[in-house]
Structure 1
Amino acid sequence: MESAQHLIMLALQASIFLIVLVIGLGATMNDATYVLKRPGLLIRSVLSINVIVPLFAVLLALALPLSHVAKAGILLMAISPFPPFIPASELKAGGRQSYVYGLLVAISLLAIVIVPLTVALLNVIVPAAISISPAAVAKLVFTSLFLPMGIGMAIHRFAPAFSERAAPIISKIANIILIVAIIPVLIAVWPEMHKLIGNGTVLAIAAVNLVGLLAGHLLGGPDPRDRTVLAISSASRHPVIALTIATAINAEPQVKAAILLFVIVGLLVSAPYQKWRKRAHPDSPANANAPVKAE
């Protein structure tokens, strides 16, 4: 059983690695440094994704009589950066490629420091929820986000024709691996996930997602397309990182169930917002890289 779980986690990590690699294959250096070159946008993005959402999750964990496994699952998701499969949704909803990819690069880079610090703080504030070495988290964030992005961008820089041909093939492989790996996980945790429905956990998760959408929309700046990107990024979290941390700390199956429940609820909560933003910018693909004033 343990060997099977280990293989599933490796498959999930491999799929995320390949998805980020594909993003790197399509990103230019200007895309990668777009947010880093704009301190105002960077600060607002970090505030929304890495401060407001985790802080609200902590307040919920302290204020609500949720089970400790529900609290651990919510907190693990709250501290995990937004997942690399979200950029596709952001682009469809009207986001500009430069900000979408630039935000992923910036948050991935900063997460190497921010996520371990957040874990360390949570160990003090809610000691029973999460206990893992910050160094282990830093290694996880680096290998799953920053490293594949860097490899993909390097390939794009030195072999652009190859990266263009390889990207769709790698993307299909990554999606197949992700689906194959996630199905047994969902089947295994469904009984425990079902127990979390009706005890306030779903409402707490929905509240965290709504706060993320609101914070990102308000802090996204004057460009409505950037508001869309930051809102979706703030509400969406990285389940593979959260699941990997849960596995590393030998968390109960209920914690993994809470993590996956967070993903499902988050998709349902964010869907109306994404449809609204897509209707607000029906011509967004043509203007996805339109220039905006630097901050």
Structure 2
Amino acid sequence: MTLAHLLLLTIKVSILFLVFTIGLSARREDAIYLVQHRALFLRSILAMNVIMVVVAAAIAALFHLPRPVSIALVALAVSPVPPILANKQRGAGGSATYTIGLLVAASLMAIVLAPLAVRLVGAAFGHDTGISALKIGFIELTSVIAPLAAGIAVRHYAPAFADRIARPVSAAAMALLVAACLPVLFVAWPAVWAMVGNGVAVALAAFTLIGLLVGHQLGGPEPKDRTVLALATGTRHPGIAMAIASVNFPDERAALAVVLYHLVIGTLVSIPYIKWRRRVAGATQGV
């Protein structure tokens, strides 16, 4: 196993444990929340997997991005909620129940929507692309559904134990994720920096900003739901996006690095929004 493969494996494992810690504070009812709120479910999928796919394709065309980067951008648009975002959503005043429900629903819908969207956009760009629903389903099962279900099970049968291990496991997983991402970003920096002049950084920032706006508008009348959907629409699951990019461009390491750089850029761009929503939530609680 090469160092690159080891780092990617470490990233996947750290994300798995982050999802597990989300489950440690969740209930079974949270996982099926959107089944009982169909209007919110439809708006969520519309924002994340329909509008943002069109936005990603439009940004790629507008900035004349290199083809691998264009597909990486579309891969982000069809990927589900990033697990590392859950704490930020709740910290910004978002609904914890909706956060869990959206994580589950978006992951399941990605199995169907991601292959379809990638093929449609690939045809539009004149490039033969595709990733099987089976492969995406396996990734979703192992990186989202299974660890989340395991965390919920631990919470249900041993709540005191879940409370005791949630914080240390989350901290260790986040430290592991950072430690694994930094070398990848450092090694791929020359390739990514060479594309900065082509508008890659601006395109990634624009994707997040538009995603925040779209999610906020479609989140509905409830302020907590708006916060959750805005942050989920603006940033996505890096593991799924990297899988799609690696299948279509196995020799383009820069495409994988672009996905990771979106984590950094998306986080920075989201900070003002998170602070604003935190103030709104605080003002609402104070009334």
Q: Within 2, Cα distance between the matches of 1:25 and 1:57? A: 34
Q: Within 2, Cα distance between the matches of 1:120 and 1:153? A: 35
Residue 269 of structure 2 corresponds to 269
- Equivalent positions of 1:132-171 (< 5 A) are 132-171=131-170
Contact 1:77 1:239 in 2 (8 A): yes
Q: Within 2, Cα distance between the matches of 1:7 and 1:70? A: 24
Q: Within 1, Cα distance between the matches of 2:128 and 2:53? A: 14
Q: Is the partner of 1:237 in helix, strand or coil?
A: coil
Counterpart amino acid of 1:278?
A: R
Is 1:16 the equivalent of 2:15?
A: yes
1:129 Cα offset (Å): 7.3
Residue 89 of structure 1 corresponds to 88
Q: Within 2, Cα distance between the matches of 1:38 and 1:251? A: 42
Contact 2:115 2:130 in 1 (8 A): no
Residue 216 of structure 1 corresponds to 215
Contact 1:69 1:258 in 2 (8 A): no
Q: Within 2, Cα distance between the matches of 1:224 and 1:109? A: 25
Query: Could you report, residue by residue, the CA deviation over 1:8-42 in whole angstroms, capped at 9, with x for unpaired residues?
Result: 11111100110001111110122222222100111
Residue 292 of structure 1 corresponds to none
Residue 254 of structure 2 corresponds to 254
Question: How many percent of aligned residue pairs carry the same amino acid?
Answer: 39
Query: Could you report, residue by residue, the CA deviation over 1:237-278 in whole angstroms, capped at 9, with x for unpaired residues?
Result: 112222233334414122123222322222222211111111
Query: Could you report, residue by residue, the CA deviation over 1:149-179 in whole angstroms, capped at 9, with x for unpaired residues?
Result: 1111122122222222222222122112212
Is 1:115 the equivalent of 2:119?
A: no
1:279 Cα offset (Å): 1.6
1:124 Cα offset (Å): 3.1
Counterpart amino acid of 1:109?
A: L
Q: Within 2, Cα distance between the matches of 1:115 and 1:143? A: 17
Normalised to the residue count of structure 1, the TM-score between the two structures is: 0.89
Contact 2:119 2:128 in 1 (8 A): no
Contact 1:116 1:135 in 2 (8 A): no
Residue 238 of structure 2 corresponds to 239
Contact 2:68 2:245 in 1 (8 A): no
1:65–1:80 CA distance, 2 compared to 1 (3 A) = same
Q: Is the partner of 1:196 in helix, strand or coil?
A: helix
Residue 202 of structure 1 corresponds to 201
The farther-off stretch of 141-150 and 129-138 is 129-138
1:134–1:102 CA distance, 2 compared to 1 (3 A) = closer
1:63 Cα offset (Å): 4.5
Larger proportion of helix? 2
1:199 Cα offset (Å): 1.7
Counterpart amino acid of 2:228?
A: V
Counterpart amino acid of 2:273?
A: Y
1:128 Cα offset (Å): 2.7
Q: Within 2, Cα distance between the matches of 1:234 and 1:30? A: 23
Q: How many residues align?
A: 286
Counterpart amino acid of 1:5?
A: A
Question: What stretches of structure 2 of length at least 5 have no aligned partner?
Answer: none
1:36–1:268 CA distance, 2 compared to 1 (3 A) = same
Q: Within 1, Cα distance between the matches of 2:148 and 2:125? A: 33
Q: Within 2, Cα distance between the matches of 1:282 and 1:185? A: 38
1:285–1:163 CA distance, 2 compared to 1 (3 A) = farther
Query: Could you report, residue by residue, the CA deviation over 1:202-253 in whole angstroms, capped at 9, with x for unpaired residues?
Result: 2222222122111111111111121111101100111222223333441412
Q: Within 1, Cα distance between the matches of 2:86 and 2:286? A: 16
Normalised to the residue count of structure 2, the TM-score between the two structures is: 0.91
Contact 2:81 2:232 in 1 (8 A): yes
Q: Within 1, Cα distance between the matches of 2:117 and 2:278? A: 33
Q: Within 2, Cα distance between the matches of 1:230 and 1:138? A: 23
1:283 Cα offset (Å): 5.6
